[in-house]
């Protein structure tokens, strides 16, 4: 089966937030049906997300996913039952530097470690959104320092998108090759292990399934999805995607709140 761009697609890898789900974190009936149609056509489907593994569980159940999944922007690869296939942590020195810089910038700091989500203020901005997203409660820790030796992801959180963008540039420059630094949403700045991104997951899945990357389609909306696009044969940006990502895409679909995922699958992959 060939899409509009002439690619014989064997696998679709989608980002989650801002792409597969709506802004209020829902899977629409059209999105669920699109994933089902992929399976009926013999095309695999999985997800690559900045979420921790626990935040992927609701999607596994709702979509009946059977392939490995990427969490923490590709730093962890898990089976559908969330057992770990591959896991890399942020080097401790880089984690401590990142947390210090995010604190100094006045951001709320979250640490994902030991299979849990840790923060200091349970009522800070976006904590309720993250609860709904992960369908999990945070662990409250007055002192995050002991967690920085085993952190999978550190997040700086702020409702000030412009300030967060400036922090992204500063923290990325300071950490250099010691960590990956990308905004997964306008209000989340993620620090994850170095050299491991969503593009690495494309390579991993190509090897796991024995297919060329040219037969993999990817969908995304944020800067951390550029790595997906760089390694896949067909890249599709959401209508709500940042402009820099749209410029890298082979095609642009409608926004996530307008069933852009389902429309892309129908028009570009299953056509």
pLDDT tens-place string over residues 101-118: 999 999 999 999 998 999
Phi, psi (degrees; rounded to nearest 5) at 152: -85, -35
Mean pLDDT of 118-132: 95
pLDDT tens-place string over residues 24-34: 999 999 999 99
Helix (H, G, I), strand (E, B) or coil at 101: helix
Q: Where along the chain do its domains lie?
A: 11-87+196-269, 92-192
Q: Cα separation of 255 and 52, whole Å? A: 24
Q: Cα separation of 12 and 20, whole Å? A: 12
Q: Is the pLDDT of residue 144 over 80?
A: yes
Q: Is the pLDDT of residue 14 over 80?
A: yes
pLDDT tens-place string over residues 165-220: 999 999 999 999 999 998 988 899 999 999 888 999 999 999 999 999 999 999 99
pLDDT tens-place string over residues 207-258: 999 999 999 999 999 988 999 999 999 999 999 999 999 999 999 999 999 9
Contacts of 188 (CB under 8 A, 6+ apart): 50, 126, 155, 156, 157, 164
Q: Is the pLDDT of residue 4 over 50?
A: no
CATH pick for 92-192 out of 3.20.20.70, 3.40.50.150, 3.30.300.30, 3.30.1240.10: 3.30.1240.10
The whole-angstrom distance between residue 210's C-alpha and the CA centroid of its chain comes to 23
pLDDT of residue 6: 53
pLDDT tens-place string over residues 49-76: 989 999 999 999 999 999 999 999 999 9
Mean pLDDT of 38-48: 98
Q: Which segments of the chain are extended strands (E)? A: 11-14, 44-47, 69-71, 76-78, 84-87, 108-113, 116-119, 139-140, 151-157, 180-185, 188-192, 216-220, 234-237, 251-252
Contacts of 169 (CB under 8 A, 6+ apart): none
Q: What do you get for the CA distance between the two ends of the chain, in Å? A: 7
Looking at 5-9, 52-56, 125-129, which range is the least confident one? 5-9
pTM of the model: 0.86
pLDDT of residue 5: 47
Q: Is the dihedral of CA 100, 245, 214, 37 positive or negative?
A: positive
Q: Check if 11-87+196-269 and 92-192 are the same fold.
A: no
Task: Tell me the CATH number for domain 11-87+196-269.
Answer: 3.40.50.1000
Q: Which residue has the tokens 């010691």?
A: 178
> Strand order in 76-78's β-sheet?
69-71, 76-78, 84-87
pLDDT of residue 3: 37
Q: Is the pLDDT of residue 7 over 90?
A: no
């Amino acid at each position: 089966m060939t899409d509009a761009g002439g690619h014989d697609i064997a696998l679709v890898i989608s980002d989650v937030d801002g792409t597969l789900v709506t802004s209020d974190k829902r899977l629409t009936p059209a999105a669920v049906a699109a994933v089902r149609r992929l399976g009926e056509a013999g095309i695999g489907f999985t997800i690559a997300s900045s979420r921790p593994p626990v935040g992927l569980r609701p999607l596994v159940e709702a979509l009946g996913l059977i392939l490995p999944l990427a969490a923490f922007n590709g730093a962890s690869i898990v089976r559908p039952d969330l057992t770990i296939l591959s896991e890399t942590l942020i080097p401790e020195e880089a984690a401590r530097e990142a947390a210090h810089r995010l604190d100094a910038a006045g951001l709320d700091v979250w640490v994902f470690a030991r299979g849990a989500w840790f923060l200091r203020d349970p009522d800070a901005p976006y904590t309720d959104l993250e609860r709904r997203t992960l369908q999990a409660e945070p662990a409250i820790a007055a002192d995050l320092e002991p967690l920085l030796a085993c952190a999978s992801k550190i997040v700086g959180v702020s409702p000030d998108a412009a300030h967060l963008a400036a922090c992204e540039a500063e923290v990325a420059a300071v950490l250099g090759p010691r960590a990956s630094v990308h905004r997964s949403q306008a209000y989340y700045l993620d620090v994850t292990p170095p050299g491991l991104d969503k593009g690495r997951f494309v390579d991993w899945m190509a090897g796991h399934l024995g297919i060329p990357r040219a037969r993999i389609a990817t969908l995304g909306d944020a800067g951390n999805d550029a790595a997906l696009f760089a390694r896949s044969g067909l890249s599709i940006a959401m209508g709500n995607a940042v402009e820099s990502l749209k410029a890298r895409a082979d095609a642009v679909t409608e926004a996530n709140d307008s069933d852009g995922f389902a429309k892309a699958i129908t028009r570009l992959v299953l056509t």
